[in-house]
A and B are shown apart, each in its own frame.
Chain A
Amino acid sequence: MRQLWTMTASDLRQRVRDRSVFIFGLVVPLALMFVFNLTIGSTNDVALTPITVSVSVPAGDQLAATLVAALGQVDAFPITVDEVSADEAGARVRAGKAQLAVVVPDGFGEAVRQGRPAVVDVTEGNGSKIETQIALSVMQGVLDHLSASAVVVNAGVRSGVAQARLGALAEQAATVMPTVNLTEGKASSEQLSPSGALVAGQAGLFLLFTVGFGVLGLVAEREQGTMARLRSMPMRPGLIVAAKGLVSYILGVVATTVLLTVGSRFFDVSFGSPAAVAVLVLCAVAAATSLMFIIARVARTAEQANVAQSILALVLGVAGGAFFPLGATGLAGRVLDLNPIAAFTRGLGITSGGGGLADIGAPVAIMLGFAVFGLAVSRLVPDRGRDL
């Protein structure tokens, strides 16, 4: 055990001194997080600003009032509703005093009740932004709802319903709550915010580089001649491999923890339960380290090992959503699900949505399964370096 710790401590000291682990394990991923957040993040994390909507509504028209009232229920950003005359509504938009004008014609409510066509005029201001589109979408939803009453009236006429009853039916169709609703379920809450996905993805991607500083040191030891001396020491050869694995594990855990912590602070992301996140980190590092054992086994030179490591890191990182979310169905989807980096980010999605230790069983199982699989493969593939 003392020999194991002696080798581990010495390796960590050397990694700290040559600084490359800081550069590739912390500086580069943090820099990339900032760069990607400036590009991807700025398009996804839109800050919505208040808008003003000028409306003209016929006095006493309840259905028209319903249409306007819907604007006040938007809580994503403030909407100021100015009730003005029909002429002034358009003029205010042209003058830049409002971003949207809505003119509801006289007899709108009566037309809806009788199942007749009705037209609502809207005018968007120059440089219309997403807030205007949202307001229009909200009103379109209300109009779609109201148009249902027209269908009811027409159906009533064709069915011979009494004229006195048609108005009540139309109003009921226009105001009744829908019987089918969308409820935000657990799958939705597993989605990380764009910034959160960026931090998690980059941490996962660079984890595969960081753990290489430990296990792939076996290849470097072989090249620089120290492996022969280590193997002549009075200890089991397996201790050398165990020490490298331990170095990988420590570096991976420290670097990933720092990246998640710093990333969450800088980009205002919360990954949720620290205990659950810690378990995810431990499992992800185990999976990534097992992969490095395979590379160390098959690579003859440090150059070969670095190339193989880069390819695997990029493939698993990109497939795990390090740069952008990736989705697939069928067999491809199931294969992507087995990617430990994807499992790691998915697990962080669960914890950031409020999930705890009991909710991360699937990603943990995938990562631990991958770790076991990687270690098993590393024992089966030919040892081209004859060290492990």
Chain B
Amino acid sequence: MLVASDLVRRYGDLTAVDGVSFHIDPGETYGLLGPNGAGKTTTISIIAGLIPAHSGTVTVAGQPMGPREVDAKRSIGLVPQDLAIYPELSARENLAFFGRLQGMRGKPLTRRIDEVLDLIALSDRAKDATKEFSGGMKRRLNIGIGLLHAPTLLILDEPTVGVDPQSRNAILESVEALSGGGMAVLYTTHYMEEAERLCDRIAIIDSGRIQAEGTRGELITLTGGLDYIRLTGEGQIEAAATALRGLDAVVQVVADRRLLTLTVRDAPAAVAGVVTTATAAGMTLGEVEIVRPDLESVFLHLTGKALRD
């Protein structure tokens, strides 16, 4: 459905996307997981034909994609990170406007608008100006517009940013339902749990490069079976980090203000020594947490920094 090959995009001296390649099969949900500034949105902008790549190619449903390519754009539905809706228009008018730009007309358009309004649970507010909507309702409409013309590839750029937990869950359920319908989905996020929940395959992206790609299970094996211990506290954090690096069970220590994240072998066995050493170094512990390997662990393992950085 989508093939991106060796994409490069530069802004002055900064290479925002540096040799990104991946593909998405029909019915597959593919995640781009990375922190802010990793190059996710720039990658999506190239794939959606908003900006050209300085090198590399994108094909969607076999058609070359670029800013001036019309045919390939018929196959995609873009849900931008910003709320791409018109506040003065109602939900129905927004859907009708973008539907017409997609070439839809008449009764098929009206019928499809009704279906989408049902899907995003906005049928009862269809005639209200969207400037009156809550943030969650706007987010749902933002997704609904991307779905309207039943694209074969739906591109969602961090669709849950700034959304309350209830709306967020509703959005995630909607996306889960879409992949069941055979639509290919490209989903970018910096929330590990969203990528884990939604995506069949995940690419971990940082500094414009894909660091690793695979299913959740495949990615976690990259950590070598290592566990994580998170220590939160006050006092001599740096001194504690230095002391902990001397323990045999500790592979890596990352200090972030009041938080120490330790990569360790066999966390349950190592935790007692870790606590004793940190306390002896002058750190007053507030919280100790053992974390089994997850995508955040993978990101930490691959980049040496936390996903939220």
Contact = CB atoms under 8 A, between A and B. Distances in A.
B83 interface: yes
Contacts of B73: 232-235
Interface in B39-58: 45, 48-51
B256 to A, nearest CB: 32
A17 B67 CA distance: 32
Contacts of A233: 73, 98, 101-102
A129 interface: no
A161 interface: no
B82 A6 contact: no
A377 to B, nearest CB: 23
Interface residues of B, number: 31
A80 interface: no
A10 B48 CA distance: 23
B68 interface: yes
Interface in B214-246: none
B163 to A, nearest CB: 15
Interface in B54-74: 67-68, 70-71, 73-74
A237 B87 CA distance: 22
B101 A18 contact: no
A97 interface: no
Contacts of A232: 48-50, 73, 76, 78
A231 interface: yes
A228 B46 CA distance: 11
Given A2-B100, A224-B82, A234-B70, A229 B88 contact: no
Nearest to B129: A17
Contacts of A312: none
The main secondary structure of chain A at its interface with chain B is helix
Given A235-B70, A236-B68, A237-B67, A230 B101 contact: yes
Contacts of A228: 45, 48, 50, 78, 80, 82, 84
B281 interface: no
Given A232-B73, A237-B67, A225 B84 contact: yes
B70 A224 contact: no
A186 interface: no
B22 interface: no
A14 to B, nearest CB: 4
Given A13-B89, A234-B74, A237-B67, A229 B145 contact: yes
Interface string A1-18: 011001100100110011
Of A6, A10, A13, the most chain B CB neighbours within 10 A belong to A10
Given A6-B97, A386-B51, A229 B70 contact: no
Contacts of B89: 10, 13-14
A14 B51 CA distance: 27
A236 B98 CA distance: 15
A232 B46 CA distance: 10
B103 interface: yes
A226 interface: yes
A14 B86 contact: yes
The main secondary structure of chain B at its interface with chain A is loop
Interface string B26-38: 0000000000000
Contacts of A17: 88
Contacts of A13: 88-89, 93
A386 B48 CA distance: 16
By size class, the interface of chain A is 20 to 34
Interface in A187-224: 224
B100 A3 contact: yes
Nearest to B155: A232
Interface in B95-153: 97-98, 100-103, 145
Nearest to B82: A225
A10 to B, nearest CB: 5
Interface string A234-260: 111100000000000000000000000
A195 B235 CA distance: 79
Contact of A234 (B50, B71, B81, B83): B71
Nearest to B85: A226
A308 B233 CA distance: 52
A224 B83 contact: yes
Contact of B101 (A14, A224, A225, A235): A235
A311 to B, nearest CB: 27
Interface in A27-41: none
Interface in B256-302: none
Contacts of A14: 86, 88-89
A236 B69 CA distance: 8
B88 A18 contact: yes
A226 B76 CA distance: 16
A231 B98 contact: no
Given A225-B82, A226-B86, A236 B100 contact: no
A316 B70 CA distance: 40
A10 B86 contact: yes
Of A14, A231, A233, the most chain B CB neighbours within 10 A belong to A233
B70 A7 contact: no
Of B48, B100, B145, the most chain A CB neighbours within 10 A belong to B100
B80 A229 contact: yes
A387 B222 CA distance: 42
Nearest to B51: A386
Contacts of A225: 80-84
A218 to B, nearest CB: 14
12 contacts: A3-B101, A6-B100, A225-B80, A226-B86, A230-B101, A232-B48, A232-B50, A233-B73, A233-B98, A234-B70, A234-B101, A234-B103
Given A233-B101, A234-B70, 5 more contacts: A226-B86, A232-B78, A235-B73, A235-B101, A236-B70
Interface of B: 45, 48-51, 67-68, 70-71, 73-74, 76, 78, 80-89, 93, 97-98, 100-103, 145
User: Closest 10 A-B residue pairs measured CB to CB?
Assistant: A225-B82, A229-B84, A232-B78, A234-B73, A14-B88, A228-B80, A233-B101, A225-B84, A6-B100, A234-B74
